A and B are shown apart, each in its own frame.
Chain A
Amino acid sequence: MSKEQYLPLTHEAIRILKKNGCWSRHWSKIVVSKGFDPTRIAGTIFRGEVRIGRLDGHFIPKDGIRRYAGIFDANLHNVTIGDNCHISNINGWLSNLNIENNVLIENVGSIVCQGETSFGNGHSIEVLNEGGGRELKITEVTSAQTAYLTTLYRHDTALVKALNTIAENYATSVRSDRATIGEGTIIFHCQNIINVKVGKGAVLRGVQNLKEGSIASALDASTFVGDGVIAKDFIIQKGAHISDGAILHGSLIGEGSKIGKQFSAENTVLFSNSEGFHSEVCSIFGGPYTVTHHRSTLLIAGMFSFFNAGSGTNQSNHMYKLGPLHQGILERGCKTGSSSYLMWPSRVGAFSAIVGKHYANFDTSDFPFSYVNEDGGKSTLVPGMNFFTVGTMRDGLKWPTRDQRTNIDKLDQIIFNVLSPYTGQKMIKGQATLLELYASAERSQEYVSHQGILIKRLLLKTCSRYYRMALEKYFGDVLVARLANEAYTNFESFWASKPESTDGHEPWVDISGLLCSKPRVDTLLEAIKAGQILDMTTLQAEFEKIHSNYTTDEWSWVLQTLPAVFGFDASKISVDDLRAVLEKWKISSIKLLNMVEMDAAKEFEGNVRIGFGIDGYQDQDFDAVRGDFETNTFKQQLDEMRQQIHSDLDQSLNILNKY
Chain B
Amino acid sequence: MSTLDRIKNVAVELLKIEADRVQETSRFVEDLGADSMQSIELVAAFEEEFDIEMDEDAALAVKTVIDAVKFIDKVLAEG
Contacts and interface: CB of A to CB of B under 8 A. Distances in A.
B57 interface: yes
B61 A598 contact: yes
A459 B41 contact: yes
Contacts of B53: 465
A459 B57 contact: no
Interface in B20-66: 29-30, 36-37, 40-41, 43-45, 47-48, 53, 55-58, 60-61
A595 B61 CA distance: 9
Contacts of B55: 591
- The interface residues of chain B, by DSSP majority, are classed as helix
Nearest to A382: B37
Interface residues of B, number: 18
Given A458-B48, A461-B44, A591-B55, A602 B36 contact: yes
Contact of B41 (A371, A456, A466, A594): A456
A469 B41 contact: no
A462 interface: yes
Nearest to A594: B57
A385 interface: yes
A531 interface: no
Interface in A354-395: 371, 373, 382, 385, 388
Contact of A371 (B37, B43, B44, B47): B37
- The interface residues of chain A, by DSSP majority, are classed as helix
A459 B36 CA distance: 13
B44 A459 contact: yes
Nearest to A595: B57
Contact of B60 (A373, A465, A595): A595
B2 to A, nearest CB: 22
Nearest to B58: A594
B43 to A, nearest CB: 7
B44 to A, nearest CB: 4
B36 A461 contact: no
Contact of B40 (A382, A469, A594): A382
Interface residues of A, number: 21
A386 to B, nearest CB: 12
A628 B14 CA distance: 33
Nearest to B39: A598
Contacts of A595: 56-57, 60
Contact of A598 (B44, B47, B57): B57
B40 A459 contact: yes
A469 B37 contact: no
A598 B58 CA distance: 10
B56 A465 contact: yes
B31 to A, nearest CB: 11
A616 interface: no
Interface in A574-624: 590-591, 594-595, 598-599, 602, 606
B71 to A, nearest CB: 15
A66 to B, nearest CB: 61
A462 B39 CA distance: 12
B65 to A, nearest CB: 18
A458 B44 contact: yes
Contacts of A382: 37, 40
B44 A462 contact: yes
Contacts of B40: 382, 385, 459, 462
A602 B29 CA distance: 11
A636 B48 CA distance: 36
16 contacts: A371-B37, A382-B40, A388-B56, A458-B48, A459-B40, A459-B41, A462-B43, A465-B53, A465-B56, A469-B56, A591-B56, A591-B57, A595-B56, A598-B60, A598-B61, A599-B36
Interface of B: 29-30, 36-37, 40-41, 43-45, 47-48, 53, 55-58, 60-61
Interface of A: 371, 373, 382, 385, 388, 456, 458-459, 461-462, 465-466, 469, 590-591, 594-595, 598-599, 602, 606
- Would you list the 5 A-B pairs with minimal beta carbon distance, nearest first? A594-B57, A462-B44, A458-B44, A591-B57, A595-B57
Given A594-B58, A606-B30, 18 more contacts: A371-B37, A373-B37, A382-B40, A388-B56, A456-B41, A458-B41, A458-B44, A462-B40, A462-B43, A462-B47, A465-B56, A466-B56, A469-B56, A591-B57, A595-B57, A598-B57, A599-B36, A602-B36
